[in-house]
Amino acid sequence: MLGVRQYWHITCVAPIIRQFVTSLPQPALAPHQTLAVGSQPLIGTSLQVLQQRNRQLRATLAAIPWPPLVSFRLREKTYTLPLTSSGQMRDGMDAPSLQKLEYLAGFFDGDGSVSNRCSLHVGQSVDGVAVLLLMQGAFGGSIIRCTNGKGLQKPTLVWQRFGNSARCTAGLLAPHSIVKRRQLELTAEGLPVPADKGDWSLKLDVLKRSDSSVVGACTWAYVAGFFDADGHIKQQKAMASLVLVFTQKHPTVLVCLQNFLARQLGVKSHISCVQNRWHQLTITKTSSCKAVLQKMMASGLLRKAAQAHLAVKLTKQNAAQVRDAMAAMVGNQGFLRRFDSAGCQRASAISAAQLRAKKAAEKGDTSLAESLHADVERQKHEHALLNAVTMNKQLLTYISKIRGMYHEPIAYKL
């Protein structure tokens, strides 16, 4: 299995792209307001001006395409896309180890898909390609570019397997799967004669639309794979407090995970329905989170291994540093919405001041309460202003990062 320290090298088609990038729109700022990355804070700039500037920068960022991903570099080796396997999955071929099959079944349950063409697919953003290489090493198949990046959306890749090779792969994964076992079993049977293909596709569609999960036994390798696909680590604000979340549309697999964690480690967890759209299993006790992470790391956790390594070492003393380091490792879903360490401290100070004002009002100390409320409003304004300054720097840095890819290789460390 691939290690945690991985370096990516994105190569672009240089001559044509360089001409193209020069025509990209620049941030819509007045000449005297143009900011270089790393410039001094915008002293004297009003909150409204900063917010307007950030809206312009966000629009600029959203319109900038990433250079086409044609190759990546991992462990001093360059891979050129499309990446095809010389080996073919067939009857009698040596199967992957049991732990690897369990891990990959868990990951496929989270991020894999079965198509009505009797094919298997797993998609990931470019910084998750390690799992796709693991799939290819175990089952063969090809890895191709799926979508180009644009703005905050990173390029995506997909591992895919077709025909008889997909049938063999499905047959290996199915016994260890929970969420997609019946879909994999249907694929392992193969497409019927042409006259019956419609019925086969209808059966697959019914399985996809319902909770077709099969209650089964979990293993730590399966849990690690599922968490790599559909789990995340949350650090509560900037404190030494962790939460683990497993997410899935239907609850069956989460119940299996919940029972497994309770039997193995006595972990207490909660399953809830979110917005009537999906379900999540949540572990809120920090010591339990660390114990689960350690078990998953020992069982092949890959995609989120670096985050897990930081999380298990979380203390009160290093909480701020761990939060910043973990924020740099996750995807862009929360980009521009996450507070930095200073922002977390300001938010905590505002909450504390609001509580003091409430207590003063409850005691009838009107003068003190009014004074504290005024201080809260001042802190809120300062908080919003500093957050806007931070967002401005983040936007400029990201815009510069994408544009820089057109002129020189960019290395990503996961």
Pick the CATH number of 71-209 from 3.40.190.10, 3.90.1150.10, 3.10.28.10, 3.40.190.80: 3.10.28.10
Helix (H) or strand (E) holding 198: helix 197-209
For the stretch 144-194, pLDDT in tens is 999 999 999 999 999 999 989 999 999 999 999 999 999 999 999 877 666
Cα–Cα distance measured from residue 414 to residue 292, given in angstroms and rounded to the nearest whole number: 21
Residue 412 has pLDDT above 70, yes or no: no
Per the prediction, the chain carries an average pLDDT of 84
State residue 68's pLDDT score. 86
Residue 44 has pLDDT above 60, yes or no: yes
Backbone angles phi, psi at 186, to 5 degrees: -65, -40
Distance of CA 133 to the CA centre of its chain: 18
Closest CA to 126 of 200, 46, 71: 71
State residue 98's pLDDT score. 96
Q: Which residue has the higher pLDDT, 177 or 68?
A: 177
Cα–Cα distance measured from residue 131 to residue 110, given in angstroms and rounded to the nearest whole number: 12
For the stretch 196-251, pLDDT in tens is 677 888 899 999 999 999 999 999 999 999 999 999 999 987 789 999 999 999 99
Q: Does domain 220-329 have CATH number 3.10.28.10?
A: yes
User: Across residues 39-56, what is the average pLDDT?
Assistant: 78
Which own/partner contact pairs does 48-56 have at CB distance under 8 Å and 24+ positions apart? 50/385, 50/388, 50/389, 50/392, 51/388, 53/27, 53/29, 53/392, 54/388, 54/391, 54/392, 54/395, 56/27, 56/28, 56/29
State residue 408's pLDDT score. 62
Residue 330 has pLDDT above 60, yes or no: yes
Q: Which residue has the higher pLDDT, 1 or 102?
A: 102
Beta-bridged to residue 125, according to DSSP, are 156
Burial class from Cβ neighbours inside 10 Å (0-12, 13-18, 19+) for residue 274 reads exposed
User: Domain coordinates of the chain in residue numbers?
Assistant: 71-209, 220-329, 341-393
Q: Which of 19-33, 118-132, 248-262 has the lowest mean pLDDT?
A: 19-33
Closest CA to 213 of 272, 309, 279: 279
Report helix, strand or coil for 7: strand
State residue 414's pLDDT score. 29
Same fold for the pair 71-209 and 220-329: yes
